[in-house]
Chains A and B, each alone.
Chain A
């Protein structure tokens, strides 16, 4: 059975801290891994990773994929209260048309 596991499930930090969110997966015929941020309602796209070892970066957020060990991390440096959200990890398989397999998400709370 395919699965995507995120850890921790929740995390509370103070502004300025650096956080690392984890996503491990057991999915056959892996194609890509995606990170989303969900604040109020709509998950918004952050990164898509397809190749091992190549870091994707956007401002204070960065992510990397390890296809050998089957995991990805999402790093957020110098956290701000606006980073408070649920961060979702999803994996796409090559054999299923458009389907994404989601983890339960990590609830990040950043205190001022």
Chain B
């Protein structure tokens, strides 16, 4: 148990659906991250939030919409996804974006887009 909880663990959705991924951290951290992990590729950083403010958007398509209501919770809202968006989506947190290089990961949501 890493202290970072992601739900759901598995999600199957059609291209016209709208769904949300949830991440909650119990570590008292101030920075949270969304990553995409596809087969045979390095982890791709999607978004960074530091003290609830988005500090990085790594050229992510607008069909992915993050939300960070407080330092403990992070959401990823999904709509009109494409089959190539099928992947493992990992959430992570760290002490803060500058000093906290050690990121702690959740178990991820395995997303399949049909």
Contact = CB atoms under 8 A, between A and B. Distances in A.
B104 A45 contact: yes
Interface stretch (B66-74, B78-86, B94-102): B94-102
Contacts of A45: 102-104
Contacts of A31: 101
- Most B CB contacts (10 A, CB to CB) among A4, A32, A34, A100 go to A100
B107 A40 contact: yes
Contact of B42 (A4, A34, A96, A97): A4
Nearest to A97: B97
Contacts of B34: none
A89 B33 CA distance: 17
A91 to B, nearest CB: 9
| B-side interface size class | 20 to 34
Contacts, number: 68
Given A42-B2, A104-B42, A98 B96 contact: yes
Contacts of B108: 41-42
Contacts of B101: 31-32, 34, 48, 92, 98, 100
B106 A42 contact: yes
B112 to A, nearest CB: 15
A64 B56 CA distance: 30
A74 interface: no
B45 interface: yes
A102 B50 CA distance: 20
A44 interface: yes
Interface of A: 4, 31-32, 34, 36, 40-45, 48, 88, 90, 92, 96-105
8 contacts: A41-B90, A42-B108, A96-B56, A97-B55, A98-B96, A98-B103, A102-B43, A104-B40
